[in-house]
Amino acid sequence: MPFDTPINATDASFQRVVMQASTPVMAVFWSPEQTAREELDAVLEEAAEAYAGDALVVKLDVRDAPEARALYNVNRLPQFLFFRGGRLVARAKGMPSMRALRPWIEYLLERGPKPTTGRPRSEEGPAEGGQPVTVTDATFDQVVLAADLPALVDFWASWCGPCRAVAPIIEELAQAYGGRVVVAKLDVDANQATARRYRVMSIPTLIFFRNGQEVDRVTGVRSKHVLEQKLEALI
């Protein structure tokens, strides 16, 4: 009977469910702390139903699969590993839409070419430049931590005078560094989980990321020249 829903697996079942599967497998590593679970579940359920009988969709909470995570060097989450005949043939990172994920599954099933991008991007990902992208608790990991580019995130609030003062500079940087740096804004009032996660105690706080890790931060209003220097060092 074809599986038309995602299968939950652990280190104990990884060999049987993934490596010894008779059909191709899309194994998805995730964690409740770093993944928008409801959004991911919706995409995976749609994929499992659409490809029932052709491919398996397997979910691995990294807390239950630390050995498999280490074996395949899974860092950024969520991460998609595509197996054919027990062999890893592709991997992709980030939170996708079903439309973005479909070409990867078609490649897994040898029905299409390998996608050229490094991860199945969401259609709501950052623009190439012009305006800062707005991020939330649900999209922060996807847009910032899983980005192929370095990132600058402006933690701000609408009532904050200094935040309004620095906003035009952030917009200028987004335009100047489009395609080289992800420039994002996060409203700390509406997204308190991420603000707490990065211990943002006063605003504006500007945090610089590379490869999903914080590498620098400044608090308060800084000149465009100072921020440009930090971005040049980041690149």
Domains of the chain: 7-108 (3.40.30.10), 133-234 (3.40.30.10)
Cβ distance 57 to 64 under 8 Å? Answer: no
Q: What is the pLDDT of residue 139?
A: 87
Catalytic residues: 160, 163
CA pair distance 117, 65, nearest whole angstrom: 27
CA pair distance 25, 132, nearest whole angstrom: 37
Where b means 16+ CB within 10 Å and e means fewer, 33-42 reads ebbbeebbee
Q: What is the pLDDT of residue 206?
A: 97
- CB atoms < 10 A from the CB of 1, how many? 5
pTM exceeds 0.75: no
Q: What is the pLDDT of residue 130?
A: 56
76-129 pLDDT per residue, tens: 788 999 999 999 888 888 877 888 899 999 999 999 988 764 444 443 444 444
130-142 pLDDT per residue, tens: 578 888 998 898 8
